[in-house]
Amino acid sequence: MLSVDELERYARHIVLREVGGPGQNALKQASVLVIGAGGLGAPVLMYLAAAGVGRLGVIDDDIVSLSNLQRQIIHTTSDIGKRKVDSAAAQIHALNPHVRFEAHPMRLTAGNAMALIANYDLVLDGSDNFETRYLVADACFLAKRPLITAALGQFDGSLTTIRAHEKNTDGVFNPTYRCLFPEAPPPGTVPACAEAGVMGALAGVLGSMMALEAIREIVGFGEGLVGRLLMVDARAMRFETLRYARDPQNPLNGDAPDITDLSGHR
């Protein structure tokens, strides 16, 4: 049940027909794990906390640096040198004390991914490298957890939702992350953020959209992004959606799957 204080705090949600009291209570009962407290994770954490997600976890082993502050809005100048999960914890508590925040100051690995992910209802991946994205996607499939994943370029970004452990209305498994991106690009072909740069406000746009998609998934309204890749071009201020389907050759839920654990990851 929502307290009197929560009823006032979330009043603008509750008057929405698509949310209402039941939807807001669903948010309160939900648990979400965010991978990374950086450019994407920062707005995700802020908006999910503001929305009233009851249990919010974040995993990140990094510390706050001055160059982060151009886009990672959950951290401030006085946080430089602190662990990102600690900086995020302080901001979340100041924003909404009703949220139970769980900090995991570590790197996500094949050894800890399953236990962490299985402890939450929904996973949002805001990591900045393909190695982690494939690890998270495989772990979510094996743990039977929905995944919302996004990626940033210099002036572009993309977002999709993965429910590969579930079947669609036709009785066919939904596509996996590996159906969309069968293989990671060769090392060195995609420059890191520190080398290529990234538009700070674009991280806010994609992170906010990740939070919106998470709220839609939890409350249950609108058409989700399962099987759809939303692409943002910040130069042209253009949004496009690409549909993608399950690849029968994919190694997770394909016709002859061969990934049954995370032993192929580090």
Residue in 260, 243, 224, 256 with CA at minimum distance from that of residue 175: 243
pLDDT (average), residues 31-45 = 97
Angle between helix 41-51 and helix 84-95 axes, rounded to 10 deg: 30
pLDDT confidence band for 190 (50 / 70 / 90):
low
pLDDT confidence band for 194 (50 / 70 / 90):
low
pLDDT (average), residues 29-53 = 98
Q: How many Cα atoms within 13 Å fall on the side-chain side of residue 138?
A: 26
Is the confidence at residue 201, as pLDDT, over 70? yes
Q: Which residue has the tokens 């580090």?
A: 266
Contact in structure between 122 and 30 (CB atoms under 8 Å) = yes
Kindly report, residue by residue over 205-243, the tens digit of the pLDDT.
Answer: 999 999 999 999 999 999 999 999 999 999 999 999 999
Which of the four CATH numbers 3.40.50.10860, 3.30.1490.100, 3.40.470.10, 3.40.50.720 does domain 4-243 have? 3.40.50.720
Q: What is the residue extent of each domain of the chain?
A: 4-243
pTM of the model: 0.96
Q: Which structure tokens are listed for 29? A: 């009962």
Per DSSP bridges, beta strands 228-233 and 147-152 are unpaired
